[in-house]
A = this chain, B = another copy of it.
Amino acid sequence: MAPDFTLDAHDSETAARAGRLQTGHGEVLTPAFMPVGTQASVKTLTPDELIAAGADILLANTYHLYLRPGVETVRGMGGLHRFMSWPRAILTDSGGFQVLSLSELRKVGARGVEFRSHLDGSRHMIAPEDAIRIQDGLGTDIAMSFDEPVELPAPAEAIRVAVDRTVDWARRGLDERRRLRDEGRGVMALFGINQGGVDAAERRRCFESLGGMPFDGFALGGLWVGEARALSLEMVERDVAMFPAERPRYLMGVGHPVDVIEAVARGVDMFDCVLPTRNARRGTVFISTGRLVVKNAAYANDPRPLDPACDCYTCRRFSRGYLRHLFTAGEILGMRLASIHAVSHMIGLARDARAAIIEGRFQAFRAAFLTRFQSGELLSPASVPVRRGSPGVTESASGFPRSGPRGSTEEMLDDVE
């Protein structure tokens, strides 16, 4: 029942690799970017739009779905796939991170986590066994071990305790899956999560235990939470060096295009992040040449698509000027169209990396990607030749105002939320 992971190609100059992960709901091509559907919905998008964007897997969240609508409702409706009408693979995060970051009055003990719901203040207790049973009840394809991330910076002692607990909970989660399988359930894959923050020794100590356990894949947890990019990437290198080559490797919560490509170069196979879609809903998207703040007034009369190099639905059909109008007017369609581009762009980037690895040109792809991404080309609205007229409209005497509001510069948002 464990997912079958096949490696199709290894890059000769880096640790990058291309693979295929078989699940109960189809094949996942790696490197893979997984859109995030926290509450059984990738915000603003339909399943068909995700498929059109190339998604073969998405992520949902155990903590959120456990609280609302509840696992019995999802199970009664035929499981998460049928509930949200998503025919392809689903990975569920175990909820460890959300319990830590969202719930109130949480008490972490050896048995598990006691907390109050961020929705209604109700009391709950989730033990690592519960986390596995809930994910099985949701009908996920890939479950994650219940872990304890630490809020950094943390004293060495706190990190050590969290690592010990993560290892203990990992073992208990695997035991629970074994019990589920004895009952004829628990068909899902289960990934372990390596913790230890940016303490290389603790991460090593964590994996010395985890690595011996029969997980179907391993995740890199607790990274990209505020530390410098170089340090994060160093942790990625160290973790990946310990992880078994034949299992998929998943870097949790990472989704900046540069980080994705740099982590792929270090041997990571799977990614998820809310950043691209969250930014999109606020009017900012990544394009091939950098970050575009389409809600800026500078784009009000720009007839080009978000990214002329992109062939997503949004870029095929709509202009920056129209998207800018939708954001200014508070129209939900703006969030939708930007989200479609954002998801297509990240999945496309992972697919392009995969093709480059298979064709033995990953280093050239990586260099070209970085140069282009940092170029800022296409971002300036200044040099746009204006389309004039249309079949149904005759030009006015005054014509189109060529000098739009062009002084404004890129508004730079923080990369990681």
Contacts and interface: CB of A to CB of B under 8 A. Distances in A.
Interface of A: 24-25, 39-41, 43-47, 64, 68-69, 72-73, 75-79, 81-85, 137, 139, 141, 183-185, 187, 300-301, 303, 313, 317-319, 321-322, 324-326, 328-329, 331-333, 335-337, 386-396, 398, 400-401
Contacts of A84: 322
B336 A335 contact: no
B318 A85 contact: yes
Given A68-B329, A325-B68, A390-B81, A301 B400 contact: no
Nearest to A322: B83
A228 to B, nearest CB: 35
A310 to B, nearest CB: 16
Contact of A396 (B75, B329, B386, B395): B75
A39 to B, nearest CB: 4
Copy tally for this chain in the complex stands at 2
A325 B69 contact: yes
Given A83-B322, A325-B68, A328-B69, A75 B393 contact: yes
Main secondary structure of the interface of A (DSSP, over half): loop
Given A69-B300, A69-B328, A333 B401 contact: no
A95 to B, nearest CB: 16
Nearest to A186: B394
Contacts of A321: 69, 73, 77, 83
A100 to B, nearest CB: 21
Contact of A336 (B24, B44, B328, B388): B44
Contact of A25 (B24, B64, B392, B398): B392
B184 A394 contact: yes
B303 A390 contact: no
Contacts of A325: 39-40, 68-69, 73, 83
Contacts of A69: 300, 321, 324-325, 328-329
A72 B401 contact: yes
A79 B392 contact: yes
Contacts of A392: 24-25, 79, 81, 139, 141, 187
A394 B185 contact: yes
A53 to B, nearest CB: 14
Contact of A333 (B43, B326, B393): B43
Contacts of A76: 301, 386, 388, 400-401
Contact of A85 (B183, B187, B322, B393): B322
A68 B328 contact: yes
Contacts of A73: 300-301, 321, 325
10 contacts: A39-B331, A41-B333, A43-B333, A46-B336, A68-B325, A68-B328, A75-B396, A78-B303, A141-B392, A183-B394
Contact of A137 (B77, B303, B337, B396): B396
A332 B75 contact: no
Contact of A44 (B322, B333, B386, B401): B333
A396 B72 CA distance: 9
